[in-house]
Chains A and B, each alone.
Chain A
Amino acid sequence: MTEVQQAVAARFDLRLERRRRLGQILAVVLFFSTLFGLLVLTSLMVDVVRKGVPWLDWQFLTSYPSRNPEAAGIKSAIVGSFWLMLLTALFSVPIGVGAAIYLEEYAPRGWFLRLIQLNIANLAGIPSVIYGILGLGLFVRFFALGRSLLAGALTMSLLVLPIIVISTQEALRAVPQGIRESAYALGATRWQVVSNHLLPIAAPGILTGIILALSRAVGETAPLVMIGALTFIAFLPESLLDPFTVLPIQIFNWTARPQEAFRGLAAAAIIVLMMFLFLMNLSAILLRNYYERHRPH
């Protein structure tokens, strides 16, 4: 060793061994923290399946709610959830996609656009129970729609609107600028550019956002409790103005009861709801993966 090297060795103790070991411990801790969420999800599913499967049969799927747990089922809830999703899509998809097209392709850049963008970002963060208050004040009372399917679907539409707008904007932004320029260069009008070129290219991204938004609408409870969907519904809705129930409401109702049998019913209804949501989420993820592999150039 030279004198300098000796001096360095005396002043700096690299402690490399210790630092490496510390790093390994940290990596393990981080890994298990990441797994924690999945562990919870697994135990939730195992618990629900264990308690719910004994109640899950054809009779459960095809019966109306009942005071007698043996005879109770989720027919009206399944039909209600289906209609709510369909109507929510009917209102929120055209408005949400339209708003995103306007903001991305039409609106002049400036303070007004920034304000609208900020507003949409904030709308996405407003608690769902507040949307319930809005639905109660606006649709149930002001427009006198009562505690109806229509009022529920309109409330849900406003709730998921920001999700659809934001994901559609992202999908449109991902379309290469050259597509717009070449279409304009050939004399296409703005709407021709949007409808013939941008929308088809952005479709997978938009569709993913719509699926995520609708699965949010299917799983949401609080706004519908607020507008008064929590009632005993032993019939199917026949018009838009009929009262209704949905799966999450039925789960809430049964969970809130102290009897063990109703908890079992709640678990069975959760299995049905979660299976449906997993299918929806799965299709969204597959769509996105497909999109990432086949990104248009």
Chain B
Amino acid sequence: MASSVDGWIRRQGFPDLAPDANLSRGPRERLIQALLGLCALVTVFTTLGIAAILIGESVAFFRQVSLAEFFGDTKWTPQFAEQHFGIWPLLAGTLMITVIAALVAIPIGLAAAIYISQYAPDRVRRWLKPSLELLAGVPTVVYGYFALTFVTPLLQHVLPQMQVYNALSAGIVVGIMIIPMVASLSEDALRAVPRSLAEGAYALGATKYEVVLRVVVPAALSGIMASFILALSRAIGETMIVTLAAGATPKLTLNPLESIQTMTAYIVQVSLGDTPQGTVVYQSLFAVGLVLFVLTLGMNLLANRIILRFKETY
């Protein structure tokens, strides 16, 4: 662009403009562009750094523990004399927390999204949305405190056989933590549905709830699904709530009233202890981290794919 303008100016016989005319190609501009580009590259190097550290240490881990044992054994006992490194108990613990959290967050979050986007008067929405966002701003360690010192004693009144550290209260509180995420992302999807669809349904004689449940929600389904996946990926990676309230006993169980251990809680447990570098227990932290990373990355990519692929165009 600039050069063709320059050429035109010269052809018209005008004198050369001041040296400033080429400012946009000058060294100062190029330096600034390079610096800004470098800033953008930091984000790429962050990903590469995470991958390099996780994979590097995991390779060292898998030199001592075979993949067959990692994915075949059903015991995780790194601290015992007889060490077992089977990931399943940690995966099962993570899965149990995630399922409980989903049972809490999906119905409540979706209901809140529907209410805020379809029912709430403008005035109510203006204070409901920020209040839900406050819920998202609560630090996870505070939720952990809440799960251990409030929810667990509360549930123990109803379920006296419940252990102090248990999957149920941790899972419920993780669910509460991700409600705002489900609600806000689903609400965006619901609000993106064109009004004409709802108006068409009204014109055919549908009542409000029929319009909402049978027209608007199905039209926004891909966005809603993506919000579920993103929220559950957050639940899988949640650390402080499960470290404080779910316990440190990796086991394969279906009983949510017992103490379990998630992948994240194990990572924290190892880093808290005085495990020397270079030992297999220390390296197991990175192997578990790699599984966690792959799992959450996969879910995030899937959600991204769903949003792009099923973006409805009306």
What is the interface of chain A, defined by CB distance below 8 A to chain B? 14, 16, 19-20, 22-23, 26-27, 29-31, 33-34, 36-38, 40-41, 43-44, 47-48, 51, 94-99, 101-103, 106-107, 116, 118-123, 125-134, 136-138, 141, 158, 161-162, 165, 189-191, 215, 218-222, 225-226, 228, 230, 248, 251-252, 255-256, 263, 266-267, 270, 273-274, 277-278, 281, 285
Contact = CB atoms under 8 A, between A and B. Distances in A.
Interface string B143-177: 01110111000000000000000000000000010
B111 interface: yes
B233 A37 contact: no
Given A126-B296, A255-B144, A277 B139 contact: yes
Contact of A44 (B146, B237, B238): B146
17 contacts: A26-B212, A26-B213, A27-B208, A29-B111, A36-B112, A37-B180, A37-B183, A106-B33, A116-B44, A125-B234, A127-B237, A189-B23, A219-B139, A219-B142, A228-B271, A252-B144, A281-B134
B176 to A, nearest CB: 5
B264 A33 contact: no
Contacts of A43: 150
Interface stretch (B67-75, B81-89, B196-204, B285-293): B285-293
B272 A230 contact: yes
Nearest to A32: B111
A128 B211 CA distance: 40
A126 B237 contact: yes
Given A158-B46, A255-B149, A127 B239 contact: yes
Interface stretch (B8-16, B95-103, B125-133, B250-258): B125-133
Q: Which of B40, B144, B183, B264 is most buried by chain A, counting CB atoms within 10 A of its CB?
A: B40
B113 to A, nearest CB: 9
Contacts of B142: 44, 48, 219, 251, 270, 273-274
B112 A33 contact: yes
A209 to B, nearest CB: 14
Contacts of B134: 41, 278, 281
Nearest to B209: A23
Contacts of B130: 285
B37 interface: yes
Contacts of B115: 27, 30-31, 33-34
Contact of B36 (A20, A101, A137): A101
A97 B111 CA distance: 36
A27 B120 CA distance: 10
Contact of B141 (A98, A106, A248): A248
A97 B42 CA distance: 12
B4 interface: no
B43 A116 contact: yes
A281 B116 contact: no
Contacts of B148: 255
B267 to A, nearest CB: 6
Question: Helix, strand, loop or mixed for chain A's interface?
Answer: helix
A256 B207 contact: no
B7 interface: no
A40 B132 CA distance: 11
B310 interface: no
A176 to B, nearest CB: 21
A106 B209 contact: no
A167 B244 CA distance: 32
Nearest to A256: B244
Q: Which of B43, B140, B144, B238 is most buried by chain A, counting CB atoms within 10 A of its CB?
A: B43
A49 to B, nearest CB: 12
Contacts of B240: 221-222, 248, 252
Contact of A225 (B35, B128, B271, B277): B271
B216 interface: no
Nearest to B299: A125
B232 to A, nearest CB: 11
Contacts of B128: 34
B32 to A, nearest CB: 5
Contacts of A27: 115, 119, 208-209
B179 A37 contact: yes
Nearest to A137: B53
B116 to A, nearest CB: 7
B297 to A, nearest CB: 6
Nearest to A248: B141
